[in-house]
Structure 1
Amino acid sequence: MADLIYKKIIDSLRKEIELGKFPDMKLPDERSLAEQYAVSRSSIKRALGNMAEQGIIFKKRGSGTFINPLYLKQDSGFNYSGKNLGITDSFQVNGQKPSIKVLEFDVIRPDEELQDNLFLKPGEFVYSFKRLRLIDSVPFMIETGYIPIKLAPELSEEIASESIFNYVETELEQEVNKTYLTITAAPSDEEGQELLDLNPNEPVGLMEGIFFLNDGTPFEFSTMKLHYKYFKYDSFVDLDNR
């Protein structure tokens, strides 16, 4: 219940910020917000702390809490927040309908590099899949992923046609909430040109990384190839807690 309360506060404040309800760029103090939402100050403090971690707001000692002006300008496709790092929940589609088309789904024996990436022993198998992600039927990403069978023994092509990380959360009662990603760009290849409708002279964005369960177990190794129009990210760095 506490999780639900603070998330509702964040959603409400974000909508108000995006609608320009705070022209002076300053949020009300915690006491006023607690009265406005009829919640405890601890819930407000948690919501504001989460928003500060995302770079939406910042606190200035002795002056109050202010909206980050660069947040208002950002138009990044991804907003990694919440419980899991799935593309389905993290990609901002502004009311458009996301969908997934499974291109390949198989069980394979991983090579040495993949064994190392997923901390597998010789003889352990993985699910191998390739998915095309679309927004309003327009392709924007080709995703190739590998998941150890032992971590999701019931995984199927049907499940892969939706959010795998949401399946992990609801059915396996775990969260995929940590990742190490390498982000770069490259010339588009034949696959990217065909599936993402790119010209030979147009590039793709590349993301490659390992996604971890909340207990630190490597869950998935994946490579994501994005249409260059969706390849924009915003970053907020805070070294205050060193």
Structure 2
Amino acid sequence: MAKAKYLQVAEEIKERIKAGIYKASTLLPDQETLAKELDVSRLTVKKALDGLERQGLVYKQSGLGTFVASQIPIKGKNDAPANLFMGLKKEIGPDRIKSKILHFSVEFPDEQIQANLELKKNEPIYNIIRLRLLDNEPFVIEHTFMPVKLVPNLDETILKDSVYSYIHKKLHLKFGRAYRRILACKSDKYDQKYLHAKEDDPMLELEQIVWLTNGQPIEYSLSRNRYDRRTYTIVENNRF
């Protein structure tokens, strides 16, 4: 499957940065110039630059344009931007990520899930637990709750592939914003069984609620990984 245009543009700009064509702390060509050169729309260029900014490769200054960021020297091999909406397959690569379904059911939400997803007690949800494998090694356990009414016809084939891709490409829904909380906790039976965590190993947990552009919450999830398998990063930029 061909990459989306904005991802191709982002990859091209990234390669130019790596090659030194666009040097650190210098101004990139404006969006109109890049759009003409790469034969895409200005909106496509903007989307590509937004993605590169979230990765910390470029930064925007109000009234000036987009600059190449200086290299971040403290990056780790398993760093994950904490503010991305793309999902693991797009973040890391579809050939490297596989999913094993540990639990999949349709049920009615308890009071906490009702509050998190703004549902009534008789509105069914999917209750999903997946083990995500990176290069065939246990990587992260994702416990996800989604309203059936917003994500109809979800099945095991989709769960083994990409839920986010299904939501965006098949259901044509767009994410608007997310709340994320990162905390440390102790390992539980799932962590010990599937992530090979020891009883006293610290775990890193990412709790999140994702809303659509119309304000409806579509996902409440908990992602857990062993302390030595993944880290989360945030790149801040003061545009003023």
Matched, 1:180 2:182: no
Partner SS for 1:216 = coil
CA shift, 1:178, in A, is 2.3
Query: Which has the greater radius of gyration?
Result: 1
CA shift, 1:135, in A, is 0.8
What is the rounded CA distance, in whole Å, between the counterparts of 1:108 and 1:41 in structure 2? 44
What is the rounded CA distance, in whole Å, between the counterparts of 2:234 and 2:43 in structure 1? 25
Distance 1:124 1:5, change over 3 A: closer
* Correspondence for 1:87: 88
CA shift, 1:13, in A, is 1.1
1:22-171 matches, cutoff 5 A: 22=22, 26=26, 29-30=29-30, 34=34, 37-39=37-39, 42=42, 46=46, 50=50, 51-52=52-53, 54-58=55-59, 66-71=67-72, 73-75=74-76, 77-79=79-81, 84-90=85-91, 92=92, 97-171=96-170
* Correspondence for 1:16: 16
Matched, 1:219 2:218: yes
Q: Is the contact made by 1:142 and 1:224 (CA closer than 8 Å) also made in structure 2?
A: yes
- Percent of aligned positions with the same letter in both sequences? 26
Q: Is the contact made by 2:99 and 2:132 (CA closer than 8 Å) also made in structure 1?
A: yes
Unaligned runs of 5+ in 1: none
CA shift, 1:219, in A, is 0.7
What is the rounded CA distance, in whole Å, between the counterparts of 1:219 and 1:53 in structure 2? 22
CA deviations 1:14-42 (Å, max 9, x no partner) are 12323444456535544996499354894
Distance 1:23 1:189, change over 3 A: same
Whichever residue aligns with residue 8 of structure 1, its letter is Q
Q: TM-score when scaled to structure 2? A: 0.80
CA deviations 1:61-102 (Å, max 9, x no partner) are 9998542224465345324788x4423223x35x86110000
Distance 1:42 1:109, change over 3 A: closer
Whichever residue aligns with residue 143 of structure 1, its letter is E
Q: Is the contact made by 1:26 and 1:64 (CA closer than 8 Å) also made in structure 2?
A: no
The 10-residue stretch of structure 1 (62-71 or 120-129) with the greater mean CA deviation from structure 2: 62-71
* Correspondence for 2:230: 231
Q: Is the contact made by 1:30 and 1:45 (CA closer than 8 Å) also made in structure 2?
A: no
Distance 1:145 1:44, change over 3 A: closer
Q: Is the contact made by 2:61 and 2:239 (CA closer than 8 Å) also made in structure 1?
A: no
The 10-residue stretch of structure 1 (133-142 or 7-16) with the greater mean CA deviation from structure 2: 7-16
Distance 1:194 1:179, change over 3 A: same
Q: Is the contact made by 1:129 and 1:145 (CA closer than 8 Å) also made in structure 2?
A: yes
What is the rounded CA distance, in whole Å, between the counterparts of 1:207 and 1:31 in structure 2? 34
Q: Is the contact made by 2:114 and 2:121 (CA closer than 8 Å) also made in structure 1?
A: yes
Unaligned runs of 5+ in 2: none
What is the rounded CA distance, in whole Å, between the counterparts of 1:237 and 1:130 in structure 2? 32
Q: Is the contact made by 2:88 and 2:97 (CA closer than 8 Å) also made in structure 1?
A: no
Whichever residue aligns with residue 80 of structure 2, its letter is F
Q: Is the contact made by 1:115 and 1:121 (CA closer than 8 Å) also made in structure 2?
A: yes
**Aligned pair count?**
235
Q: Is the contact made by 2:24 and 2:71 (CA closer than 8 Å) also made in structure 1?
A: no
